[in-house]
Structure 1
Amino acid sequence: MPVYTVHAPTPGGADLRATDKFVFVRDGFHFWAMVFGPLWLLWNRLWLALIGWIVFLAAFDAGLSSLGVGRRSIVLANIIVALLMGFEASTLRRWTLSRGKWRQLDIVVADDHDTAERRFFERWSEKQRGIVNDQWAVDRGGPPPTRGVPGQPFSSPPPIPAGGIIGLFPEPGGSR
């Protein structure tokens, strides 16, 4: 199943008025980024990545040509670089968002983009009911720990110190 990261514009903008600006970035291989690298970067408005891609590819091809590498080898090397672009396209998108002062709110596992949005907003809206704008704690989808589960270190109360109880009452159940 694909994994999506959810990004919000700014810490102050992560409220109900900014939900239409949230960005879901799918992690994994992007075929169109491999086939049409510069056009994919333009489409997703990754300007610095596009400039870096053009400079790197020009320097890479010029370096291989100056070393006397054959035409077929240069084409093969460019195919490998395009394959790398397909694998790292989502990383470039997340990097660009983090440079623009966006922050990652959550990670969602879903079959497609619509399911990822639905799962994220179900969890996020539940958190918004109790605590307004507290998005610093990211819920990873697991239930909170409980005390009644055997085998967990916090299932039983901590041991009493060797010198007795520390606090206002010197012994358990003693008079006040």
Structure 2
Amino acid sequence: MPVYTVHAPTANDVGIRATDRFAFVRDGFHVWAALLGPVWLAWHRLWLALIGWIVVIAAIDVGMARLGGGAGAIFLANVLMALLMGSEAASLQRWTLSRRNWRQLDIVVADDEESAERRFFDRWTAKQRALANDQLAVDRGAPPPTRDIPGQPFSRPPPLPQSEIIGLFPEPGASR
């Protein structure tokens, strides 16, 4: 099964408003990055990696031609660089995201990206609900909790009625 890493921008609004900007990066070999390296890099907007790829390929081609390498050797070196690009494409994406001050939130194992998103957001919303107020109480129409609002006392339960029976025994200390 593929493994996905989940990345989010480090802005202060990494809440529910920023979930559409989360990035899911699949780990593993990327065939299109191996076959069409510069196109794949440009498609994913990895500009620094694209410039580096062009410089490295040009240096390898010129260096091997100057050293007297034949066309077959240069082609083999380009094929090896394409295989390297395919295997390290996800690392280049993660490096670019970290360079843009994104942080890694989680690692998810799923069949495809949609399943990875579903698994991540199920876990993430449960964790957010546990950290914040009880959102389920608000969704049921109950008054909002007051424990996280500074300056207000905790919610007090209503007083118990004095004349009604609570529990199994009508009077404290009475015999069975």
TM-score of the two chains, using structure 1 as the length reference = 0.74
Task: Specify the alignment match of 2:8 in structure 1.
Answer: 8
Q: Tell me how far 1:11 sits from its aligned partner.
A: 5.0
Instruction: Out of 90-99 and 13-22, give the one that drifted further.
Output: 13-22
Task: Specify the alignment match of 2:73 in structure 1.
Answer: 73
* Equivalent runs, 1:56-71 vs 2, <5 Å: 56-71=56-71
- Whose Rg is larger? 2
Number of corresponding residues: 132
Cα distance in 2 for residues equivalent to 1:77 and 1:58: 11
Q: Tell me how far 1:13 sits from its aligned partner.
A: 3.0
List per-residue Cα deviations over 1:19-64 (Å, max 9, x = no partner). 0000000000000000000000000000000000001100111111
Cα distance in 2 for residues equivalent to 1:39 and 1:130: 43
Q: Which runs of 4+ in 1 moved over 3 A?
A: none
Task: Specify the alignment match of 1:26 in structure 2.
Answer: 26
Task: Specify the alignment match of 1:126 in structure 2.
Answer: 126
Structure 2: which 5+ runs fail to align? 133-176
Residue 89 of structure 2 aligns with an amino acid whose one-letter code is A
Cα distance in 2 for residues equivalent to 1:16 and 1:127: 13
Residue 42 of structure 1 aligns with an amino acid whose one-letter code is A
| Percentage of matched positions with identical amino acids | 66
Q: Confirm or deny: 8 A CA contact 1:11 1:103 kept in the other structure.
A: no
Q: Confirm or deny: 8 A CA contact 1:34 1:83 kept in the other structure.
A: yes
Structure 1: which 5+ runs fail to align? 133-176
RMSD: 0.8
TM-score of the two chains, using structure 2 as the length reference = 0.74
